């Protein structure tokens, strides 16, 4: 088993996504750890799946392209799907492939901030909550 320092933000792992349900990501595929390195001391990590399939044009604003290189460990042009975060026990992580670069990590974090509405203002939050009243 890998040591705690291997589970770093931005590291790329081969992850077993099965069993999956419905439209969840399937099979064993690469994924990038997006949970903060300090939080990865626990038994679980949060990842984003990576696919080699070209994304539908509607998804382009929420994917980050990765070209294979000696650092990330990928062997084909790939895409991080930034709107499918999943938290798994580390037992699903098969092996570490490599590491994303700082620019890719920043791109992913920017998309996640928007997807999770982490930069929302109080007035926007109140408007969103009004939808449920």
Contact 9, 48 (CB under 8 A): no
Residue 81: CB atoms within 10 A of its CB come to: 20
Find the mean pLDDT for residues 8-16.
Answer: 95
Looking at residue 122, its pLDDT comes to 62
Looking at residue 85, its pLDDT comes to 95
Mean pLDDT of the chain: 87
Strands (E), the chain: 11-16, 28-33, 44-51, 63-66, 78-81, 86-89, 93-99
Burial class (CB in 10 A: 0-12, 13-18, 19+), 66: buried
Q: What is the pLDDT of residues 81-97, one digit of tens each?
A: 999 999 999 999 999 99
């Amino acid at each position: 088993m890998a040591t705690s320092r291997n589970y770093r933000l931005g590291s790329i792992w081969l992850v077993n996504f099965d069993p999956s349900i419905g439209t969840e990501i399937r099979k064993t595929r690469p994924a990038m750890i997006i949970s903060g390195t300090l939080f990865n001391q626990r038994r679980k990590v949060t990842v984003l799946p990576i696919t080699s399939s070209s994304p539908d044009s509607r998804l382009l604003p929420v994917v980050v392209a990765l070209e294979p290189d000696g650092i990330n460990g990928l062997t084909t042009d790939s895409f991080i799907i930034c709107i499918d975060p999943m938290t798994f026990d580390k037992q699903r992580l098969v092996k570490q492939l490599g590491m994303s670069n700082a620019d890719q990590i920043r791109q992913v974090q920017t998309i996640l901030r928007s997807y999770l509405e982490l930069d929302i203002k109080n007035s926007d939050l109140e408007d969103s909550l009004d939808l449920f009243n």
